[in-house]
Structure 1
Amino acid sequence: MTPSAPTRAAAASLPGGPTFAQSAWLVAEREIGSKLRSKAFVISTAIMLLIALAGVVWGGISAANPSQTPVAVTSETSSVVQGMSNLAVTTSDSADAATELVRSGKVDAAIVPDASSPTHTKIVAKDNAPSELIAQLSVSPTVQLLNASPQDALLRYLVAIGFGVVFLFAASLFGSTIAQSVVEEKQTRIVEILISAIPVRALLAGKVLGNTILAIGQIVVLVAIAIVGLGITGQGDVLAGLGGPMVWFAIFFLFGFVLLASLFAGAGAMVSRQEDIGSTTMPITTLILAPYIMVIIFNDNPVVLTVMSYVPFSAPVAMPLRLYVGDAMWWEPLVSLVLLIATCAAAIVVGSKIYSNALLRMGGRVKLAEALKS
């Protein structure tokens, strides 16, 4: 990373040299500028935002136009399906005409008179018994759930995927970028010039700060797209339920990303070649991927979800999901956030130590114990 002319001029204009905060901000500005000038970064961000917008619009269209099962009835059986909005009903002149519609594939099933049946009707289908239609026509007792969830199971699953994908994508993208930037500076020996002008920890702080600002910017834009999209497509109920959880997700994401970014920077400093980055960043990537998969799998398991909402690496996804479902007490996100901040502080200390001790060591991979002990 070669400092730009404005950056060098700004540093030179500071009497007595830049302070730690000024040095960190100069590096952060350089990180932000280089990303915004990168076509790959701009294109990938645009694609992600378009996918998010398409998902919101698709959800609104699906909610406004629920799928309907095509069913044929006769004048004698039409009263059976009254009030069922999820059926596309076609009234036929006779039972034979209704059966012919099934045979031709124009409807999935037909409800025709049958004097021998206790209900005086029967369902005619082509290949398989229409279980959903049978269930709708069946008489079932009233069910009372003592611990009923106020949210739809499918919607809860989609929310879990949404929070998980956003965190996984942003943390992996910017985290790996930080590690690659560190290794590139070591390979080109630019780092030796940089640390002769600014402290090593200021260089690390600037990298983390710059990428955090970019990542949070993406999250803010995604939240804005979700809010506007849900409002325009008439999904006010979903928006009302997601408002608070999305704010908490942004807060948890901030500290969770700083935690991971510090570790990625330390992992990058432990190697001197781009092809060796995977060997040191794989454990961190696993810390991101494993909670994402577990939250999606156990999104309907309150016990597992509760535990994961207090684990720092999974809390940014699990806690907002619990808040959306309504399983978390008002004080739980505060406790989880305190644990996350404490872990974030510890990660900054560890990552900074590894980064400082391994940054100038060239050649083979630096062992973790050596980086921590040097």
Structure 2
Amino acid sequence: MWLVAEREISTKLRSKVFLISTAILFVAALVGLIFGGLAAQNQSGTPVAVTADAAPLLPSTEGLEITEVADRSAAEKLVSDGTVDAAIVADPSAAPFGFTVIADSSAPTSLMLRFAQVPPVELLDPAQTDEAIRYFVAIGFGIVFLMAASIFGSTIAASVVEEKQTRVVEILISAIRARTLLAGKVIGNTILAMAQILVLAAIAIVGLTVIGQTQLLGLLGAPILWFAVFFLFGFILLAALFAAAGAMVSRQEDIGSTTFPITILIMAPYFLVIFFNDNPVVLTIMSYVPFSAPVGMPMRLFLGEAQWWEPIISLLILLATCVGAILVGARIYQNSLLRMGARVKLNEALRG
């Protein structure tokens, strides 16, 4: 089993295409994080209402479009109707600042980054997280899951078909069992996929630290950890299905016909989390469906919508589904591996 896994890993690491694409992915992730943070820090012209008694308390007004108002009620009115992004009003209880920031649903990031310490914030129509940050995190979880699962999953299917097409599999099966060959392929590609996920997590930590987003980093810590755990078992589930799908055909041209349903299962969480990242009902359903739980549950944890026990229940459901998928995938793989020619039908592969 480990010999097969080593072969899968070494073959991938010798591939220039894989190494170059992986390097581009890592560099793009780091550049995207740093550029986004610096762009937010360099934003200027943020419209802000300031009461007369709060103006002397501001450390700096550089980069702010100041609108002076008479009192707090006038400031709140400008915030509510969207004239300004936020208001700064005097507040003797807000030590050591002496003022409070008033915003509608979330405080502008460009304004908050100007303070060495975060002053008290009052929201008129509070939202759990900033819309831009929520969307950014949703894209991050979605695209990492989509790319890693699809790239390594398709690699497993292509490897199985290549061994069938060249008849190498007949030699392999004479030396080891089909289930051992399947397990080695799954283990090898899982190690590579998890290594990629861990490096991306490290890049996220480094990038957020460089741009000074320690508060966002604190919010992302637990969700990233849970994402890695969910991705591990979710990928094993998908890897077993991809190997089974590859074993059902004998030509590279036919892979798409058997892997298409699995590809849909991978793409669905990506689009759902992007379009419905602000919909608690959709995210809740996603967090308990095994194929979308690696994206849905970490997203809910980041938004603070999940109870402490929900990730555990979701993980148990994923583990049970993973075991079932491995058993079904192994049966299909074993019954289809030595059948050449036309595509093996699913019911025939299950019957043997």
TM over 0.5: yes
Does 2:148 align with 1:170? yes
Seen in structure 2, the aligned counterparts of structure 1 residues 344 and 81 have a Cα distance that, compared at 3 Å, is same
* TM-score (norm. length: structure 1): 0.76
Q: How far apart, CA to CA, are the structure 2 residues paired with 1:70 and 1:145?
A: 17
**For structure 1, which segment, 81-90 or 185-194, has the greater mean C-alpha deviation from structure 2 after superposition?**
81-90
Does 2:170 align with 1:192? yes
Q: What displacement does 1:148 show?
A: 4.2
- Correspondence for 1:369: 347
- 1:269-289 CA-to-partner distances (Å, cap 9, x unmatched) read 000000100000000000011
- Correspondence for 2:3: 26
Q: How far apart, CA to CA, are the structure 2 residues paired with 1:315 and 1:86?
A: 44
Q: How far apart, CA to CA, are the structure 1 residues paired with 2:103 and 2:186?
A: 58
Q: What displacement does 1:88 show?
A: 5.0
- 1:224-251 CA-to-partner distances (Å, cap 9, x unmatched) read 1111111121110010000000000000
- Correspondence for 2:271: 293
How many percent of aligned residue pairs carry the same amino acid?
64
Amino acid in structure 2 at the alignment position of 1:274: Q
Does 2:232 align with 1:243? no
Q: How far apart, CA to CA, are the structure 1 residues paired with 2:85 and 2:156?
A: 55
CA contact (8 A) 1:160 1:299 kept: yes
Amino acid in structure 2 at the alignment position of 1:65: N
Q: Which one has the largest radius of gyration? A: 1
CA contact (8 A) 2:34 2:211 kept: yes
Does 2:278 align with 1:305? no
Task: Find the residue that maps to 2:288 and give its secondary structure.
Answer: coil
Task: Find the residue that maps to 1:234 and give its secondary structure.
Answer: coil
- Correspondence for 1:344: 322
Does 2:33 align with 1:56? yes
Seen in structure 2, the aligned counterparts of structure 1 residues 261 and 303 have a Cα distance that, compared at 3 Å, is same
Task: Find the residue that maps to 1:260 and give its secondary structure.
Answer: helix
- 1:295-335 CA-to-partner distances (Å, cap 9, x unmatched) read 21111111111111000000000000000000000000000
Q: How far apart, CA to CA, are the structure 2 residues paired with 1:186 and 1:240?
A: 48
**For structure 1, which segment, 227-236 or 201-210, has the greater mean C-alpha deviation from structure 2 after superposition?**
227-236
Q: What displacement does 1:79 show?
A: 7.2
Q: What displacement does 1:133 show?
A: 4.3
Task: Find the residue that maps to 1:366 and give its secondary structure.
Answer: coil
Does 2:23 align with 1:42? no
Amino acid in structure 1 at the alignment position of 2:211: T
| RMSD of aligned alpha carbons | 3.0
Amino acid in structure 2 at the alignment position of 1:31: E
Q: How far apart, CA to CA, are the structure 2 residues paired with 1:81 and 1:217?
A: 51
* TM-score (norm. length: structure 2): 0.80
Residue pairs, 1:1-374, within 5 angstroms: 24-68=1-45, 133=83, 148-374=126-352
Q: What displacement does 1:70 show?
A: 9.2
CA contact (8 A) 1:149 1:325 kept: no
Amino acid in structure 2 at the alignment position of 1:35: K
Q: How far apart, CA to CA, are the structure 2 residues paired with 1:276 and 1:81?
A: 70
Task: Find the residue that maps to 1:363 and give its secondary structure.
Answer: coil
Q: What displacement does 1:63 show?
A: 3.2
Q: What displacement does 1:80 show?
A: 12
- Correspondence for 2:99: none
CA contact (8 A) 2:233 2:319 kept: yes
Task: Find the residue that maps to 1:309 and give its secondary structure.
Answer: helix
Q: How many residues align?
A: 308
Q: How far apart, CA to CA, are the structure 2 residues paired with 1:199 and 1:307?
A: 39
Q: How far apart, CA to CA, are the structure 1 residues paired with 2:339 and 2:191?
A: 29
Unpaired runs of 5+ in structure 2?
A: 68-73, 75-80, 88-101, 106-121
Q: How far apart, CA to CA, are the structure 2 residues paired with 1:173 and 1:155?
A: 27
